[in-house]
Structure formats: structure tokens, C-alpha cells
Chain A
Amino acid sequence: MTESGFLSRRAFLAGTGATGAAALAGCIGETGGSGDDGSAETTEGGQSVSGGITITGSSTVYPVSVAMAEEFEKANSEVDISVDPTGTGGGFENHFCPGNSDINGASRPITDAEEENCNENGVDPRQFQVASDALTVVVNKDATWVDSITFEELAQIWRPDGAQQWSDVRDDWPDKPLELYGPASTSGTFDWFTENVVGEAGSHRSDYEATEDDNNIVAGVEGSPNAMGYLGFAYYQENSDRVKAVSVAEGDASNAVEPTLENAKSGDYPMARPLFVYPAAGSIQEKDQVYEFLKFYIEQSETDIVTEIGYVPASADLRDDNLETLEEIRNE
């Protein structure tokens, strides 16, 4: 090794050391300076807002929030929105209640324990229903025998020790084994279906093909003429050429309603699961960007942005109620 090589490496070391130290210092300076992302600059009309918005929560609400954020960003590029599907419960527990998130999406109402947890940390969650998800029962395209089904029949199939054969449910259905596909037990879709269709919570059968990815339900049902599954309408809409949707009746089979977004919006379709967002009251009052975003979110929750995703938009009444509530919270 020559002397010059030595010197240059020493110089290199010194250089990297200095740069590293400087960069580290820069980081610290940067963090210290802008640690509070709630500082928003408001102009007169409140039109131009900036700052960060953190959205966590249910992976079912996630696509709606992403779409809303995308549209909101087009007009308000100064606002940094991050959306993360942490799950409803994970979002409340790890992010929202500790005060690290402004809005938590939820595919079920908040539990008392969660609300308590939030309040202990000085976070006040407020509920807004922004859309609903029309759960859809799908069967194979070749399953010509079934066009409609009632809640009671669904319960017969999906409860523990439920029906093994199609003919166990209705006499004119064939003597073929039921192959069942559904969402994994940790999903909100599963919860809602269990609670509202099958019966009391926790009484869903466990011997079915459970999957976290609804595409898998489509693939499974498409693959076998004896299969049945339930999933969110969005996945059915995306794959309506591959599987057949079944009309559902809450009571008598003759009242069965076809799963369409119109039917769900009008309230006729019985398997529409409400989707919520829970903003923190503090965030709405202190952060203009959160308030503006929520206003936008609620206004748009009645439009095609929601329909395109395959969810059921809020009705005009619900939207107006929500806007009113939002103003009340803002002015508290």
C-alpha cells in the first residue's frame, strides 16, 4: 500500500465520518423542527390547507379512504395523507387511541373497551358511517338450481355443524356436498356475517376454506360446481363473469333482493354492512386539514367514487346528517 493510497483512505474516512455526523445532525434538527405535524397554516377562506393526515384502520374501509385521499390530494397537494390498513382493532389499539392517527376506519362499531382506552389517552373518537359493503353470496355459474336464498338457509349452512349437502338445506337442491369458501375469521366481513346472518357472534362453522384474499373465494367457487362462498360486493363486481351472485331475502324467499349497488343504497338489500370512519374530535378541532378532508370525504361519500370501488355510497340524508355532525364537532 502506497503512502498516497493511505492518505486518501484516511481522507475518505474523515470525509464519510464528517458527512455521517452532519447527516445525523441534520436528521435530528429536522425531526426537532417539524415533529409536530399538526401545525397547519390556514389562510383566510380555509381553502388552502397543509399538514399531515394519518389514516389507519380497517382494510375494508381502506380502498374508500385511499380513493378519497387521492381525490383530495388533487386539490390540496400541500396535505400529506398516509393511509394504512392496520385492521380495525389494530388501528384503535396501536395507532388511534395512543394519539398517533387522526382517523381510524372501522368495519364495525367501536367497542366499549376501545372507547375507554381512547378516552384514557385523551382521544375522543366520533363515529361517521360513510359507506356500506354489500356482502354477496356467490355460487358457481353452473349451479342452476340456486337463484335465491334466505337468511335462515344461510344460517343452516354456515353455523357450526351446519349442512353438509345442498339437499340438507332445500329438498329440491341436489345431493351434492357443499364446498364452502369464506373470509378468514379475523376479517370484519366474517364478523358481520356471523353476527347478523348466522346468529350470535362466534357461532360460525370453522370447517370451511378460509382466506384473507377474497380473490381466492372467487377462484374456489369458480372451480367447483358445488361451491358456495360469501364476499364483499367489490370482488364480485370485479369478477361477475366468473361466478354467480345469489339474491338474498331476510325473511321469506319470495322477497329475495338481487345484490346491486342500487338495491343496497335504497336499503332493500339486507346484507349491507355499514363502514365507518372514526376521527378524533381533537384532530377535527385543531387540524384544519383533517376537518377539510373529512368534509370532502363525507360530501363525496354519496358519489360514484364509492360506487367505482364496489361499495354502497351513503344516502343523501346520511351525508347531510354527517356534515351537520362534523360542523358541531368542529365548533365544540
Chain B
Amino acid sequence: MSEEPARPAFAGENRTRSAKESAIKWFLFVCAALSVFVTLAIVATLLFDAIEFFTRVSPLAFFTGTNWSPKIGEAFGVLPLVTNTLAVTALSALVAIPVGTASAAYLSEYASDQVRSVLKPALEVLAGIPTVVYGLFALVYVTPALQAVGIPVGTFNLLSASIMVGVMIIPMVSSLSEDAMSAVPDSLRQGAYGLGATKFEVTTTVVVPAAVSGIFSSFILALSRAIGETMIVVVAAGMSPQLVPSPFGSIQPMTSAMVQLATSDLAGGTAAYYALFAIGLTLFVITFSMNVASNWVASRYREEYE
């Protein structure tokens, strides 16, 4: 933290300086490379114990089994967990994608600066609420509310958990999509106006198609977040995996099975314990490839405007 006055000096003026410069550069590089280390550590951690699991349970039985019941009959079929995760993801997408895209269109095309300055922070509040709180909302308020309007949901159910997961990822869809829509140059809009298009037509036929790669990659990112969402489903979705889930009943996605295994009465060193890491690996691979896909879509189909 030197406070030297800015005396005239030229880069590489003496060796001290260049040694210092390159030391700093390497230090900063190590900080940046730490992220690679983190990824490798995650993969190593998961692989190590997952392999231990697969020596006890065949990968085929794990990935194609249709019964998840680590305790009764030691059935380790991951498929019910996967379908339950997909059910949560699909239902939450039904909430988040229309709402998120519409919000983005409104913010980007219609909202005045003043309205935007109120609505954007409000949306950010949605993103800032801890997921355990969303889970409690689903359990303590949404489920009773659904029951009150006559929807026959159980105490723990897929529907209210998915609604809350959907609400949680709205800001993700809306902010990334809005960025993509705002990045569409005004010249395109003005061109369309010049051809006699209405604002509606400009939005739906010019802006949205032009921004579609960004919008799409925001969907993928948001869905990968929904797949990895843990606390909402742990608190509100129940603990009974169903191969064909009902929206009104209790289910168990992958993340919540992991938490259950990690905090249950299972004897350590058993296959059920190592199953934790096998599910973790499956989850990691799914979310990681979705993120890669999102980046790929965003960069591959990006329309460059200069």
C-alpha cells in the first residue's frame, strides 16, 4: 500500500519494478486460477466417493433403476429422483418463463425510467430472499392457501414447492433477458417504426427475435438453478420419490434426497451413504452441462451489432 507520489517513471525503468510487476501478475493469476482448482476439487470429491458407490451398486442399476428406496430392499434407482427433479423444473418453468420474459419485455420496451427504478429493485428483492425462506413460504402459507381454494394438495407437495422455485428464478430470467433486449440497437427499432410497425410489432417481431439467443440462454441458466435448488424442495416438497409424480402429492428431487441422506440415521460407510455422492455427481454433471449449453447458445447464436 505504498503512497508514493506520481513521479515520472517509465515502465520497466529498473529491474526491481519489473520483478515486482511480474510477482503481482503471478499472484493475481493464482487467484484467478483458484476457480479451476475449485472445479477440480468438486469433481475429485464427487468422483472419489461415487466410484466407491459404483463398486457396490452397478452404474446400470443406478441410472436405469426405477425404484429409489435406499433403506427398504436397498434399491438405488436414481430415475424417480431425476423425474421428480424434472417435474419441479418443468412446473417452475411454467411460472418463471412467461412471467420472466414478459417482465423483461415490459422493463426493456415499455417502462419509463421512473417505473423501472421502482420495479427493478423490487424484482431484485425476489432474487435476494434466501431459499429456505421461500421453502417456508411454500410450506406455511402457499400450501394452506391452495387447500383453501380447493386444490387437494398434501402437506408436502410438488405444486407449491414448484411455484416458489418458479418465483425465485423469475428475476434470473427477467434480468438476463432484459439485458439481451436492451442490447438490441435502437436502429433496428427505428427501422421497424419507419416501416409503420406498432410498438407491439416492434417488440414481438424485432426485439424478441433479435435477442432470442440471450433470452434462451437465460432460460437454460434459470432452469439449471431450478434443478439445483435445494432448500425449497427440502422444506416443502416432501420425501417420497415417485417415478410418475403427481403435482398434489409428496415427491423427492435429487437435491432433497442428498440432504436427507446427509442428515439421516443411515449407518456410515454403507452404500446408501455413498449414494449421496453418486447423486451429487449426477446433479453436478447435469447442471454443469446446462451451464455450458447456456454459454454456448449465448455465444453461438449471438447476433452482433456494431
Contact = CB atoms under 8 A, between A and B. Distances in A.
**Touch A–B, Cβ below 8 Å:** yes
Interface residues of B, number: 29
Contacts of A204: 72
Contacts of A113: 267-269
Contact of A89 (B67, B260, B265): B265
Contact of B264 (A90, A114, A220): A90
Interface in B238-253: 238-240, 250
A204 B75 CA distance: 13
A290 B29 CA distance: 47
Given A185-B70, A185-B71, A114 B267 contact: yes
A142 interface: no
A229 interface: no
A190 interface: yes
Interface string B227-265: 000000000001110000000001000000000111111
B240 A93 contact: no
Nearest to A17: B1
Contacts of B270: 89
Interface of A: 10, 14, 17-18, 58-60, 85-90, 92-94, 97, 107-108, 111, 113-114, 117, 184-188, 190-191, 202, 204, 206, 209-213, 215-216, 219-220
A107 B265 CA distance: 8
Contacts of B70: 185-186
A89 B240 contact: no
Contact of A211 (B250, B265, B267, B268): B250
Given A60-B265, A93-B267, 13 more contacts: A14-B1, A18-B1, A87-B264, A89-B267, A89-B273, A108-B265, A185-B72, A186-B261, A186-B272, A206-B73, A210-B239, A211-B156, A213-B156
A211 B272 CA distance: 18
B84 to A, nearest CB: 14
Nearest to B240: A210
Given A209-B250, A216-B155, A89 B239 contact: no
